[in-house]
Chains A and B, each alone.
Chain A
């Protein structure tokens, strides 16, 4: 079926229904956001564990986490995506077939979330670690003096006290997460950037669709920036400003 895109107006091109490409863009945007959110959250979990590992007493643990963060910060995300997209499923399946379990398939969505969390985890480790180091030692000592068990110190004192220090770094990480989802376009996963590229290719309106996608990314950035600023202001209430 031939559709005459050249004669359509901008609004017709961006319409949500079939001849327009707005729906494709929007579902790409949603996929991007879902992957970014999941990746960011898993990254936070990894980062939290990593920070505990790096600050803990075990030197072996510390070194292993250091290897992880160093490697992630040195290997391009695009290469990591390739590794996780192509190498990891093969590796997993050969492991699983050794155990006699049938093969699994890693789809684009899962691979995307894995990559983003893996990358975010490394950066989050550093952010949370330095935030924890910024907690005045006296607060932890006071908790010890009250004979709080370790896990209680962690969630009653360390977590809330480190949050104001970690939030600026975390807000940055979230922005990086949203932008890193664009890289999944390279392995053919239809998130916002690839959706825009497909729309652009079909309609020959390259500039329009890529600009619209850029605008959508910018909106995400600006909105999340404002949200994080609000949270940072809130978490800084009652704190000394230096």
Chain B
């Protein structure tokens, strides 16, 4: 079982994050050492619950839920928008005219070569500092949006997804067997139909496991928006720590929440893969 090479004819070596939970291993949960590990884990969780102070939870319950909601909204919207941008970015690098391919490539290098935190700050503090100097903007309907942190966080996260996923989609588009595209052409499909019916679905199908990992990476990137005054899960817990002077408990609960979210995403993609995976 250990000898079979796990390296698949790979789409790209980029930030590869394998799916986190392996459901096929459920049977193996009942080996003696695993039962022991589970007992230890449950025991230590019970110990934490009993011995540490959690009195602040009811008080902050609503704030936590609201933060969680913000995190999720930001994750879902930025990932979907970013992915929609990533499709053309990947595609032009495979078939597009060379200047578009170069442009897409430079965009990916630029975003992937700098830290996301810096991009968020560059947008919010840097670009955001230009807007007040433009007079007509202040009267325009855009102004309330430009002074809010939301759009900056959303744009930064979206661009990041677009670049990382664009690179992955490039590999995925290139990896679809040529014969399938030729077959579609032989049926007289117009180019757009080939893309929407054959090329894109096949590319996405082949990248599903990678995309699952990418969504989790994106989830892990969302706390960065707390640094530009957005109140997401991370920010809510920072506030709790500041107001109650409790060091560990909020950190532990926050860690638990992120683990839980990542687990859900992994399960979701595991299900998607099982239903639509490449065979």
Q: Measuring CB to CB, which residues of chain A are less than 8 angstroms from any residue of chain B? A: 55, 59-60, 63-64, 67, 70-71, 73-79, 82-83, 86-87, 90, 126, 130, 133-134, 137, 165, 168-169, 172, 175-176, 179-183, 185-186, 193, 196-197, 200, 204, 206-207, 210-211, 213-214, 217-218, 220-222
Contact = CB atoms under 8 A, between A and B. Distances in A.
Contacts of B13: 168-169, 172
B221 interface: yes
Interface in B21-69: 21, 31, 33-34, 37
Contact of A86 (B110, B113, B122, B251): B251
Contacts of A86: 247, 251
A133 B7 contact: yes
Contact of B126 (A55, A90, A210): A210
Contact of B116 (A130, A179, A200, A218): A179
A-B pairs, top 9 by smallest CB distance, nearest first, are A221-B113, A182-B115, A74-B262, A207-B126, A76-B220, A179-B115, A168-B13, A210-B122, A206-B129
A75 B258 contact: yes
A52 to B, nearest CB: 12
A165 B16 CA distance: 14
A179 B114 contact: yes
Interface string B105-118: 00001101111111
Nearest to B13: A168
Q: Is the interface of A mostly helix, strand, loop or mixed?
A: helix
B220 A63 contact: no
B7 A207 contact: no
Contacts of A70: 20-21
B194 interface: no
B15 A172 contact: yes
Contact of B33 (A60, A176, A196): A60
Interface in B196-235: 213, 216, 219-224, 227, 234
Contact of A76 (B15, B118, B219): B219
Given A59-B31, A169-B16, A197-B125, A217 B113 contact: yes
B118 A182 contact: yes
Contact of B5 (A76, A134, A210, A220): A134
B130 interface: yes
Contacts of B15: 172, 176
A12 B122 CA distance: 21
A207 B255 contact: no
Contacts of B125: 197, 200, 206, 210
B271 interface: no
A184 B253 CA distance: 22
8 contacts: A55-B2, A73-B20, A82-B251, A133-B4, A165-B7, A210-B126, A217-B115, A221-B113
Interface string B97-138: 000000000000110111111110110011111100000000
Given A75-B220, A76-B234, A182-B115, A126 B18 contact: yes
B143 interface: no
A153 B81 CA distance: 49
A182 B117 contact: yes
Nearest to A213: B118
A71 B129 CA distance: 38
A207 B122 contact: yes
A224 to B, nearest CB: 10
A193 B258 CA distance: 25
A83 B251 contact: yes
A71 B258 contact: no
Given A87-B248, A206-B125, A186 B117 contact: yes
A87 B127 contact: no
B80 to A, nearest CB: 20
Contacts of B248: 87, 90
Contacts of B155: none
Among B126, B130, B221, which residue has the most Cβ atoms of chain A within 10 A? B126
A83 B58 CA distance: 23
B17 A73 contact: yes
Given A70-B21, A126-B18, 18 more contacts: A73-B262, A75-B258, A75-B259, A75-B262, A86-B247, A86-B251, A87-B251, A133-B2, A133-B4, A134-B5, A169-B16, A183-B224, A193-B115, A206-B125, A206-B128, A214-B114, A214-B122, A221-B114
